[in-house]
Amino acid sequence: MDKSFSCPSGSAAPGPVPKDYIRVYSMRFCPFAQRARLVLKAKGIKYETINIHLKEKPEWYLKKNPLGQVPTLETPAGEVIYESPITCEYLDEVYPEKKLLPSSPFAKAQQKMMLEHFSKVIPYFYKIPTGRKNGEDVSGLEADLKEKFAKLNACLVNKKTKFFGGDSITMIDYMMWPWFERAEAYQFKQFLDGTPELKKWTELMLQDSAVKAIMFSPDAHKAFFKTFLDGNPDFDYGL
C-alpha cells in the first residue's frame, strides 16, 4: 500500500521517471486512480506512486495533465497518459503479461459498452450520501441505484459467469470494483442483499491478490469519506 503524502501547491516537481518503471499520479482514496493501480498491480508492472493534493494542486501537475485529475501515468520517456479507461488500456497494450482486455474486438467492445453503462451508475454513489447528509429524501435515488444493481446482477445471471467478462477477472471487473469496495462506507452494502450474484462477485473480488494489495479497509474508507462529505477531504488520512 502506498505510504507517501500528497504533493500540494508550491511543491517541487518530481524528476524523471526511473528506467523500467512507470509512474502513476494518484490520490490514495480516488476510485478512478485505483483503477490504474489495480491494473498496474494485477499485471505485475514495476511502478512508483506520486500522490497529488487534489484541493491544492501543484502547478507542475497541471502542466502534465491540464484536467488536473488522477490517475495520470508518466513513462521514463516523459510520455503522459490520463483518463482512467485510457490509462488502463494503454497499460494493457504496452505490458503484454497477463492481458486484461479480451483480444476479440467484439468482446473488447462489449467491455467498453458495459463500462459506459457503469459510468452512468457512478454518480449515484455520490448523490445519495450527499443527499442523506443534507437531510434530503433520497428514496428515489436509492430505488434507481437498486435497479442498476439488479441489472448488473442480471448480467451475471445471463452470462452464467463468476465475473463480468467470464470466469476469471478481466479489465471490466477492475474498472467497476473501486465503488463496490466503498459500498459499506457509502452505506450501500445492504442493497447487495437483493442481488445475490452481484454480492458473490464482490466476495470473489475480495479474494483477488491485486484487490487485496491495493484496497483500504471499510473503516479507512468511512473515515476518509466523512472528511470528503464535510468538504475538507483528508487525502493523507491514515499516514
Binding site for a copy of itself (CB under 8 A): 75, 79, 81-83, 86-87, 89-90, 93-94, 105-106, 108-109, 112-113, 116
**For residue 65, how far is the Cα from the chain centroid?**
18
| 59 versus 93: smaller Cβ distance to a copy of itself | 93
| 106 versus 134: smaller Cβ distance to a copy of itself | 106
| Contact (CB, 8 A) for 222 and 184 | yes
| 8 versus 68: smaller Cβ distance to a copy of itself | 68
3-state SS class at 234: coil
3-state SS class at 225: helix
Whole-number minimum distance, CB 1 to a copy of itself, in Å? 27
Whole-number minimum distance, CB 226 to a copy of itself, in Å? 31
Whole-number minimum distance, CB 87 to a copy of itself, in Å? 8
| Contact (CB, 8 A) for 39 and 171 | yes
| Contact (CB, 8 A) for 65 and 71 | no
Local structure of residue 101 (DSSP, 8 states): S
- Cα-flanking dihedrals φ and ψ of residue 72, to 5°? -130, 140
Catalytic residues: 30
